[in-house]
Amino acid sequence: MYLDVVHLRAFYDLPLGRLLRSLIGAPIRSMWPELKGQRLLGIGYAGPFMRPYLDNIDRAIAAMPAPQGAVPWPRERESACALVEDGALPFPDLSFDRIMLVHALDHCSDPDAVLKEAWRVLAPGGRLIAVVPNRRGLWAQSELSPFGYGRPYSGRQLKELLKSCQFNVLEDKEALFMPPSKARTILRAARTWEGIGRRIWPAFGGVLIVEAEKVVYQSLPADGKRSRLRALRPVFIPEGVATGLKPVRAASVERMGSLLDD
């Protein structure tokens, strides 16, 4: 069940959200250190993790699911966001070289449909990174972040899901070894927790980060499913915190097409 995009945006503006963006972004950038000239698509709420690549990529579009809602992204440039259905992305086949899925596979009702659409719009040999809450980790059990509201996965479950949708798993990492807490002592030692956690209990990170490559050897069946879910109101936004802009509830497919054609 999807969280509202306004709450997601507000969370990543909070100190804890900025910290999580850094801790999760580090292994993502180690997998994808350079995307110069690439076409990048984010599905779910991937904008905070796409931002480091904006200066070098050919184009970037943030596809935000309709039950979640959409807000303009990026803030400092002309908006490149689209309101989409889980199983029907408004992009031509083979449109992108890379895809990020964040707050997508764990919140959607049909992960297979999301991955099949990702497969369709990826170029041959294109790669994706999926970020999901770890079933073994503490963050999946906590409502301090959006990772406590979706469907958690084990590493094996996520890899099997990707393989069943014609992706070849290349690499997997974990992040968020610090305990879910807003205590200043914990937050100040977050990077120490990350280093210790990777060495001592690598299977218990709060999130799983998996890179996979599109495999081309047969066509995908079209199931035509559509689904909408209500948006949950989270508790990780403190009372009185401004949530910024109102969510956008409609987007122009023609506008997205023009971005791809530029």
| Token reading at 117 | 């659409």
- Listed in sequence order, the residues at least 6 apart from 71 whose beta carbon sits closer than 8 Å to its beta carbon are 5, 6, 9, 64, 81, 244, 245, 247, 248
Which of the residues in the chain have pLDDT under 50? Answer: 250-254
Among the listed residues 50, 111, 103, 108, the one whose alpha carbon sits nearest the alpha carbon of residue 81:
50
Q: Could you tell me which residues are beta bridge partners of residue 82?
A: 63
Alpha carbons 121 and 89: distance in angstroms, whole number: 8
Note whether 172 and 159 are within 8 A (CB).
Answer: yes
User: Looking at residue 238, what is its pLDDT?
Assistant: 74
Structure confidence by residue, pLDDT tens digits, 123-142 = 999 999 999 999 999 999 99
Q: Calculate the CA dihedral of residues 56, 173, 24, 80 and round it to 10 degrees.
A: 40
Extents of the domains making up the chain? 5-175+203-261
Q: Give, in words, the CATH class of 5-175+203-261.
A: alpha beta
Structure confidence by residue, pLDDT tens digits, 179-224 = 999 999 999 999 999 999 989 988 899 999 999 999 986 555 555 5
Alpha carbons 15 and 35: distance in angstroms, whole number: 28
User: Looking at residue 158, what is its pLDDT?
Assistant: 97
User: Looking at residue 229, what is its pLDDT?
Assistant: 53
Please tell me the pTM assigned to this model.
Answer: 0.85
For residue 159, which amino acid is it?
Answer: K
> Which helix or strand (DSSP H or E) is residue 23 part of?
helix 15-31
User: Looking at residue 138, what is its pLDDT?
Assistant: 95
